[in-house]
Amino acid sequence: MGDNGAFDVLRHPLNSATCDEVIYHDHVPTDNGTAGYADVRKFLGRLRELIVSKLSIPLAIVVGDQQSFSRMVWLKRKEPSSYSFVIPFYGDFHFAVHLLMAVHTLWWGPLICCLLDESGFCVQSIHQEWSSVELYNRHRFVYETIIVGIFTYLIEVLPTGALEHPDILLEAARTQNSGKSLSQMHGNFLVLLDIALPMLYRALLLGLEVLLRFLFDFGFPWLFFRQSIRRGDSEAMDEMHRIAVLWFRATNKHQYARICIDYIFLLLNLHPALKRLWSKYRTCSKVGNSGRNIAWDQRNEFMNLDVKEMHPDSPSRIDKVITMLGGLETADAHIREAVGQVRGKPDEYTSVKARHVQLILDVLKSKLGSTSDALFPHSPVNFNPFGNTSKPWVKVKNPSGTQTHDIFSEAMRWATGQLERAPFPDDSA
């Protein structure tokens, strides 16, 4: 832990970066955006004409949103000769958004609703239902605040070093044996000696465990994926799929669950040289600041926003706007240097402030106490002080609700079925 305590989890990574050049080409007008095979075929046809026919490049990496990615993968499987030049990938920005949507769905009842209602924090802007990607920034801010708040609380109330062994804390929180303290249960971890039995009773099962599970099983993994994008760490980003597929299945985000299967299938069949190429260029830097890489779909969102702000009134005008934007971006560094306005290194920043975290801290302390030696009831508390008794960490282990001994077989049947079925009806066949 650094000088900023729990806030360090939000710090930007220290990897170096250079500004990635982007060449904008003309857009392909479509009827339904990406929501149709006809539009995907139309775009890929134009891409084949440009990349393969005109430039004589045999392969093209194509990054699309969830619907276009799934359709491209399916077309490659069913028409390999027609789309052999396409190497499809999905957009990691939208993937990160939907990861947080899944966390929100799973944790609203058992934790999030209580923290917001009792603190008054963002209660007007954050609600149980969330389906629009456009609302991501406000949810990201709230969840970053909650993660820092819970982490700060645990640092304050638990003995030094206790969080280095979250598995032991979880076991203690689940244990209802009133005759054992943590030190007796785990004699090798004397650092936990100061956690007294009364605290375990007050935090039993659905108190301390709720916070630990949210933080280590959901909050930190989502934040890790975001930080992996920022530092351009493709291998770390790939690790998220084996977790994400369970989150998506448990929250009925069927198309994003399928993305995980399609992506793993693609990686397993990708030539090592192409995989290294993808790893190198999976993220980009718009201005070259270290630790601030973004995914390509977010880069495209910025371009879309810039185009919209210039109010083009026809497809030909859009092409001209794109050309102008490309020229402006290329000349940006030279113009800044000429007028003495060279970009400096950005300061470390976050929209999460101490006053926001304090609101969450106050609720946590009112529910579980503020110190490890505080007075607690002398018998176990068998209810969740933050909300309902649902256990997201249990639900994601068996998202289909099948019998325990059939979990693996059910997962294999599901994965195979995803690979064999089209993600959407083919409207252009």
Which tens digits make up the pLDDT trace of 398-428?
887 777 667 888 888 888 888 888 888 776 5
Q: Where are the domains of the chain?
A: 1-21+92-232+282-397
* Cβ atoms of residues 186 and 217 within 8 Å: no
C-beta of residue 415 within 8 angstroms of C-beta of residue 261 = yes
Query: What span, in angstroms and rounded, lies between the C-alpha atoms of 127 and 105?
Result: 10
Whether 31 and 38 have beta carbons less than 8 Å apart is answered as yes
Give the residue-averaged pLDDT of 291-301: 88
Encode pLDDT of 330-353 as tens digits.
Answer: 777 778 778 877 666 666 667 899
pLDDT category at 105 given cuts 50, 70, 90 is very high
| Region label for 377, one of left (φ > 0), alpha (ψ between -120 and 50) or beta (otherwise) | beta
Residue with more model confidence, 253 or 404 = 253
For residue 11, what pLDDT band results from cuts at 50, 70 and 90? confident
Confidence of residue 284 (pLDDT cuts 50, 70, 90): confident
The pLDDT of residue 57: 93
Phi-psi category of residue 86: left, alpha or beta, with phi > 0 → left and psi -120 to 50 → alpha: beta
The CB-side HSE value for 364 (13 A sphere, CA atoms) comes to 24
How large a percentage of the chain has pLDDT more than 90? 39
